[in-house]
Amino acid sequence: MASEARLANTPIATLDPSLTQDVIYRRLIRILSQSNIDEIGILPFLAEPDDKETLKDLPLYPFVLQEQRTKLGIPIFCWVPLLSEAYAILKAAIKVDTSSNGQDWWDISEKYNRVIEATSCLMIVCPDSFTAVNARKRLIEKGVLNAETELKFLDAILTIPRNCKSSGAWHHRKWLLCYMYPGLRETPLQPAIVEEQLTVCHQAAERYPKCYYAWTMRHWLVEELGRHWWIASFRVSSSEPDPVDLIPLEKEYERMKDHMGRNISDHSTQQHLQQCMLQLSGRWSVQICTDDSETGPSPPSRSSCKALQWTREELSQRRRRRHERFSQSQDAGQKRDANRGVKIEATTPPIRASYPWVLRLWETELQRTKDLILSYPGHESLWYHLRFVYYGMQWVGSETEMDTTESSVDWILGDTNSLACLSTEIEFVGHANQSDNTDQNAMKLQMLYGERYLDFIRLLDWSSTS
């Protein structure tokens, strides 16, 4: 970034005196108005073909257009001149003019056209300019700019890696979605729309790792998909949910598992994967606080539940209720082992959003995380993720309101979850500490993180909290 800043501050007049601020600005605006740009890149050089005199006469110079005028290259030396010229034009255009007879700039075509041009330039070189962003919002509300076109323009802006960390660009993107799809409080975004936006977020995360604003946007989109799973988890016993509404969140979860496998120490990836798991768990990830938790035409909203806020005290209470229910239950058709759980042969796979499906989700993730810890010893991020998965499995496994009569149930936990309890975790940590890895440093960290993990498990051991 330091070398990039030095190049950007190099006066372009020293490289080519013919390239004044006004010339550079006008040529960029011409390109943007006449081309369908979907990708923008920063060039660390000025184009220098054999015939320089011919080049200077071209309307594109010093910019580069490729692939049928869809890929735009902007020399880094143009950054500062473009910023200065665009700000000066925008400031003059939105300035209150006494000769305008009380009209605002957005009501005068000559002025708002200049604002559109200046803000288009500013959004590329400085998307954190809230003056530019707010001016474009005003024009969208007035119907001068099209919201869908603006969203595509933002897609192109975010192809520049440095712009992926821009809070202004991501805030503007969320504002556009809320503007284009009003009524989000009552109706969640359609999964197909969310899937498109998740793709943009994923590409931004690949271009600029640990991009806070992209991950925040991604969390919000996953919450929108989670609203479909929330509704489905209440109605799954009466009708099988539509997979079209549910599959996009599964895809995002699978995408995160793959990303996590390639970025072991990336906490942002793991936190987003955890958000996906919570949303995939639907009603089973929360403590229902309403009296009517049965399937109905209007499932309770998450605001009426203790959503995603797990405490040790609440977990202890759930375990007690679970223990009491199974102690009193004497079902002759289900042979229950209080320590090992129940095994029932499945005739069909569990239905999405059902309790058995959610339980299997957490079991699979628990085993996958342990496999990663054994393959990549000494990574604290994996041990933290294992804590989350263990706690989540304990929470979901202590559910007392699941439907155990459906044919898709293939196993139901008893009083003690034999797949994840203190004894199984002690055994796993011992196995993790006996790895053949020759990196002594990594193994020392592995032992330290393992002991801390067991301390965490002991705090949650239900026999000590009951």
Reported as a single tens digit per residue, the pLDDT across 387-430 is 999 988 888 877 655 554 443 334 444 444 556 788 899 999 99
On the 0-12 / 13-18 / 19+ scale of CB atoms within 10 A, 163 is buried
Over the chain, what HEC string results? Answer: CHHHHHHHCCCHHHCCCCCCHHHHHHHHHHHHHHCCCCEEEEECCCCCCCCHHHHHHCCCCCCEEECCCCEEEEEHHHHHHHHHHHHHHHHHHHCCCHHHCCCCHHHCHHHHHHHHHHHHHHHHHCCCCHHHHHHHHHHHHCCCCCHHHHHHHHHHHCCCHHHHHCHHHHHHHHHHHHHHCCCCCCCCCCHHHHHHHHHHHHHHHHHCCCCHHHHHHHHHHHHHHHHHHHHHHHHCCCCCCCHHHHHHHHHHHHHHHHHHHHCCCCHHHHHHHHHHHHHHCHHHHEEECCCCCCCCCCCCCHHHEEECCCCHHHHHHHHHHHHHHHHHCCCCCCCCECCCEEECCCCCCCCCCCHHHHHHHHHHHHHHHHHHHHHCCCCHHHHHHHHHHHHHHHHHHCCCCCCCCCCCCCEECCCCCCCCCHHHHHHHHHHHCCCCCCCHHHHHHHHHHHHHHHHHHHHHCHHHHC
Least confident of 19-23, 203-207, 317-321: 317-321
Q: What is the phi-psi region of residue 67: left when phi exceeds 0, alpha when psi lies from -120 to 50, beta otherwise? A: left
- The string of pLDDT tens digits covering residues 36-65 is 999 999 998 877 654 454 455 567 888 999
pLDDT tens string 256-315: 999 899 889 989 999 999 999 999 988 777 655 544 444 445 565 655 454 445 566 666
Range name among 200-204, 294-298, 345-349 with the lowest pLDDT average: 294-298
User: Is 332 inside a domain boundary?
Assistant: no
pTM, rounded to two decimals = 0.81
Final residue of a structural domain among 125, 149, 179: 179
pLDDT bracket for residue 209 (50, 70, 90): confident
Confirm whether 380 is domain-assigned.
yes
Residues 175 and 185 in one domain: no
Domain that holds residue 40: 2-179
Question: Is 393:366 a contact under the CB 8 Å cutoff?
Answer: yes
Cα–Cα dist 63/60, whole Å = 5
**Which of the four pLDDT bands, split at 50, 70 and 90, describes residue 127?**
very high
> What are the φ/ψ torsions at residue 343 (nearest 5 degrees)?
-115, 125
Residue-wise pLDDT tens digits, 419-463:
678 889 999 999 999 877 778 899 999 999 999 999 999 887 754
Clarify whether residues 294 and 367 are in a common domain: no
**Nearest in space to 93 (alpha carbons), one of 116, 75, 70:** 116
- β 286-288/71-75 pair status: unpaired
How far apart are the C-alpha atoms of 238 and 103, rounded to whole Å? 59
Say if residue 163 is in the same domain as residue 187.
no
Q: Same domain, yes or no, for 168 and 68?
A: yes
**Confidence class for position 229, pLDDT limits 50, 70, 90:** confident
Co-location of 123 and 246 in the same domain = no
Give the other-Cβ count within 10 Å of 320's Cβ.
15
CB-based contacts of 228, cutoff 8 Å, min separation 6: 188, 191, 241, 245, 246, 249
For position 319, what pLDDT does the model report?
Answer: 64
Burial of 192 (C-beta count, 10 Å sphere; 0-12/13-18/19+): exposed
Residue 288: inside a domain: yes
Q: What are phi and psi of 55, to 5 degrees?
A: -60, -40
Amino acid 302: pLDDT: 55
Spatial contact of 318 and 395, defined as CB atoms under 8 Å apart: yes
pLDDT band at 320 (very low <50, low <70, confident <90, very high): low
Closest CA to 35 of 60, 14, 54, 5: 60
When comparing pLDDT for 17 and 452, which is higher? 452
**pLDDT band, residue 131 (cuts 50/70/90):** very high
Do both 31 and 167 map to the same domain? yes
Neighbours of 229 (CB within 10 A): 25
123-137, 210-224, 252-266, 293-307: least confident range = 293-307
pLDDT confidence of 15, banded at 50, 70, 90?
Answer: confident
146-169: average pLDDT: 94
Which structure tokens are listed for 370? 């342990």
* Residue 328 pLDDT exceeds 90: no
The residue from 179, 214, 235 where one domain ends is 179
Return the higher-pLDDT residue of 13 and 339: 13
Is pLDDT at 377 greater than 90 in this prediction? yes
pLDDT of residue 2: 54
**Confidence (pLDDT) at 317:** 67
Let me know if residue 320 belongs to a domain: no
Task: Inform me whether the pLDDT recorded for 362 exceeds 90.
Answer: yes
Say yes or no: 267 and 345 in one domain.
no
In a domain, 294, yes or no: yes
Last residue of a domain, one of 179, 196, 231: 179
- Angle at CA of residue 223, ends 219 and 225, nearest 5°: 120
Q: Is there a single domain that holds both residue 217 and residue 112? A: no
Does 211 lie in the same domain as 156?
no
Q: Is residue 324 assigned to a domain?
A: no
Domain contains 268: yes
- Whether 323 maps to a domain, the answer reads no
Mean pLDDT of 125-140: 94
230/216 same-domain check: yes
**What pLDDT was estimated at residue 307?**
45
420 and 368 inside one domain: yes
Is there a single domain that holds both residue 132 and residue 193? no
**Number of domains comprising the chain:** 3
